[in-house]
Amino acid sequence: MTALPTSARIRRAVLPLALCAGLAAGLTACAEDPDEGTNGVGKLAPGAIEEKAQEAADGAKSVRLAGTLVSKGGTFKLNMRLKDDGATGSVVTKNSTFELLRIGDALYMKADAAFWAHGGGEATTEPSETDSEAADKLGDKYVKVPQGDPSYKQLRGFTDMDLLLNGLLGLHGDVVKGDRDKIGGIRSVKVKGGAEGEGGTLDVALEGTPYPLQFARGGGAGVVVLSEWDRDFPLEAPAPGQTLDYGKQLPRT
């Protein structure tokens, strides 16, 4: 058997290794392409990604917003389905839980008797017998909130799609691009206000329309998840037997 020259033996050994290395690199490059099969938004500059998300939200007719908001007035847990002409869902605070239903300008609130007996869940003293009797009538009924009531504007704010989205989705500070993630099974790209997200962090969908999927407010002021974009839902006024008119003003909370 004729011995191969040293250089030939080296080439024969190195060539398969080089081919394998090149193939592995090609496969790795394909696997690591974060924009393959996406809507392409992830390739944009961070400011442009934020603009695309805002445009998508502005053009949507409905959305579900669920999560926690922290403000000077306390902590609110929301689970609201919202659209242009109304909303339905629930609000949970430290001491109370209530449901809201809005159809046009008509706003209804539903809570249990304990909520009404304790002045909206905030009172610390035991209710009087008169308060308890009134609360029993209001409990688990839809109470129409008078438009002149001081609480109307605040409660309606929880049901206003444009107001909530415009108030929640804005980033503050220099916008930077963050990591890729998945929110509700949908691939997303993060854009942050500030390098550490101190001005908020927005997850934008990389599949289909670039809707906002999640927003983490800066300073630990809450996280909300946005889903069911443009998925319509019915809004029906409560039956007459389930509705009560409280009067000119609700209990102050």
Mean pLDDT in runs of 10 for the chain (253 residues)? Answer: 50 46 48 82 97 97 96 90 97 91 96 76 58 70 89 93 91 95 96 94 98 95 97 93 68 49
What local confidence, expressed as pLDDT, does residue 119 receive? 61
In a domain, 74, yes or no: yes
As a whole number of angstroms, the longest Cα–Cα distance in the chain is 111
Query: Is residue 11 a part of any domain in this protein?
Result: no
The predicted structure's pLDDT at residue 141 = 87
Asked if residue 184 is part of any domain, the answer here is yes
Domain presence at residue 46: yes
Q: Verify that 71 and 161 share a domain, yes or no.
A: yes
Q: Which two tokens stand for residue 2?
A: 């004729």
- Structure tokens, 154: 């605040």
Q: How many domains does the chain have?
A: 2
Beta carbons of 227 and 240 less than 8 angstroms apart: no
Sheet arrangement for strand 175-183: 175-183, 186-193, 201-205, 212-216, 223-227, 62-71, 74-83, 86-92, 97-103, 106-110, 142-144, 243-245
Q: In angstroms, rounded to a whole number, what is the distance separating the alpha carbons of residues 20 and 10?
A: 16
- pLDDT at position 130: 60
Predicted pLDDT of residue 27: 46
Same domain, 121 and 83: yes
Does some domain include residue 8? no
| Angstrom distance (rounded) from CA 126 to CA 63 | 40
Structural domain includes residue 93: yes
Find the domain containing 112 and state its range.
64-165+240-245
Is residue 25 in a domain?
A: no
What's the predicted TM-score (pTM) here?
0.79
What is the per-residue pLDDT for 14? Answer: 45
- Residue 80: its pLDDT value, please? 98
Q: Based on the domain organization, do 201 and 161 belong to the same domain?
A: no
Residues 129, 190: one domain? Answer: no
Judgement on whether residues 184 and 144 belong to the same structural domain of the protein: no
Task: Answer yes or no: is 47 within a domain.
Answer: yes
Per-residue confidence (pLDDT) for residue 113, from 0 to 100: 82
* Whole-number pLDDT of residue 139: 73
Q: Is the domain of 69 the same as that of 123?
A: yes
pLDDT at residue number 23: 47
| Helix count and strand count (H, E) for the chain | 6, 12
74 and 89 together in one domain: yes
- What is residue 136's predicted lDDT score, i.e. its pLDDT? 73
- 199 and 157 part of one domain: no
Confidence at residue 114, expressed as pLDDT on a 0 to 100 scale: 82
